[in-house]
């Protein structure tokens, strides 16, 4: 009886478009869904620092270097916003990190692709951050308060990320022939994985129904993917680059582009650990965590010692 009324109350709140806050009653599956989604999102931010970090020491100018440093620092910050949002759902930071390090939790499969040239840094900012923003703009209105508020902060900061990426693409696309080829090569390699970032097609997406029902997501994977294609293709045309999709064609009737199907077998493969960089990425995270252990231990001992001194004084 009691449970029924709590659940009815929860549903009524969602219907009224009110946010759910940490101390509100929520169905256990809503909590689990959010922990999975928010932690996956947090891990993606942190692991996402790695492919870009790869180019910090080799950025082609001092300006490019400070910009890339600032961007990678932002990604670290975004991870921290999201971890603390996840922690409001009764899971500890240690557990969250442990799930990442043991491979139990996933992160966006896009970060398992390598950044081979400087043009990849442009393509990542333009396409990968562009796709992430599309998703995150929607999540600003997600039903869970702490997640929505973290998204508002993140979206404010992300727009510089996409613009700096497009700026790099402009420099290369309007540069020498060799530079233009490098830009085209990066677009060729990042286009399809970027489309995959929105997740499997709606018909085949195991978590989508609940996410929509609970207003965690307001739009479906396919809707977001379509919008991304509509916005991005003209940007590629401006650069004079071609999108690597033979089926891509403007469809007047729907007011959007028709486009080909991503290779979902590849998607499954990368998600299940067989992408080009899965092992390297995870190993780098585990190593960073292990190497930081002495810092955490020293900080804990120092804090305890200072507390003792405060009491004695």
Residue ranges that bind other proteins, judged by CB under 8 A? 21, 23-25, 73-74, 77, 80-81, 84, 87, 92-94, 149-150, 153, 157, 293, 296-297, 299-303, 306-307
Q: Which is nearer to other proteins, 246 or 294 (CB)?
A: 294
Question: At closest approach, how far in Å is the CB of 133 from other proteins?
Answer: 17
Q: Which is nearer to other proteins, 209 or 300 (CB)?
A: 300
Question: At closest approach, how far in Å is the CB of 297 from other proteins?
Answer: 6
Nearby residues of 148 by Cβ (< 8 Å), 6 or more positions away: 19, 139, 140, 141, 142
User: What are 269-276's contacts with CB under 8 Å, separation 24+?
Assistant: 270/109, 270/112, 270/113, 270/193, 271/106, 271/109, 273/103, 275/109, 275/112, 275/113, 276/112, 276/113, 276/114
Grouping H, G, I as helix, E, B as strand and the rest as coil, residue 95 is helix
Question: At closest approach, how far in Å is the CB of 71 from other proteins?
Answer: 11
Helix (H) and strand (E) counts in the chain: 14, 2
Q: Which is nearer to other proteins, 93 or 254 (CB)?
A: 93
Question: At closest approach, how far in Å is the CB of 94 from other proteins?
Answer: 6
d(CA 231, CA 38): 26
Question: At closest approach, how far in Å is the CB of 25 from other proteins?
Answer: 8
Q: Which is nearer to other proteins, 28 or 94 (CB)?
A: 94
Q: Which is nearer to other proteins, 42 or 236 (CB)?
A: 42
């Amino acid at each position: 009886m009691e449970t029924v009324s709590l659940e009815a109350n929860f549903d009524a709140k969602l219907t009224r478009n009110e946010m759910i806050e940490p101390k509100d009653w929520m169905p256990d599956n809503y909590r689990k869904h959010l922990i999975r989604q928010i932690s996956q999102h947090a891990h993606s931010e942190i692991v996402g620092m790695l492919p870009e970090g790869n180019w910090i020491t080799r950025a082609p100018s001092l300006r490019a270097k400070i910009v890339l440093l600032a961007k990678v620092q932002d990604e670290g910050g975004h991870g921290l916003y999201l971890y603390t949002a996840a922690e409001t759902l009764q899971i500890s930071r240690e557990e969250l990190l442990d799930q990442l390090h043991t491979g139990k939790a996933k992160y966006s499969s896009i970060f398992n692709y390598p950044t081979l040239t400087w043009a990849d840094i442009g393509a990542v900012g333009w396409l990968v951050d562009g796709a992430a923003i599309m998703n995150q703009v929607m999540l600003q209105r997600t039903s869970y308060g702490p997640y929505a508020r973290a998204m508002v902060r993140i979206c404010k900061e992300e727009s510089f990320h996409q613009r700096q990426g497009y700026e790099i693409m402009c420099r290369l696309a309007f540069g020498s022939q060799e530079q233009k080829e490098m830009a085209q090569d990066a677009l060729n390699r990042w286009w399809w994985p970027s489309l995959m970032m929105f997740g499997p097609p709606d018909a085949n997406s195991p978590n989508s129904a609940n996410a929509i029902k609970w207003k965690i997501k307001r739009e479906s994977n396919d809707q977001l993917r379509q919008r991304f294609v509509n916005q991005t293709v003209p940007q590629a045309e401006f650069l004079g680059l071609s999108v690597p999709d033979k089926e891509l064609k403007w469809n007047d009737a729907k007011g959007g582009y028709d486009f080909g199907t991503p290779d979902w077998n590849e998607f499954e493969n990368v998600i299940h650990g067989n992408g080009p960089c899965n092992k390297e990425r995870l190993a780098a995270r585990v190593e960073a965590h292990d190497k930081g252990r002495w810092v955490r231990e020293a900080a804990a001992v120092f804090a305890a010692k200072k507390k003792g001194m405060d009491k004695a004084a």
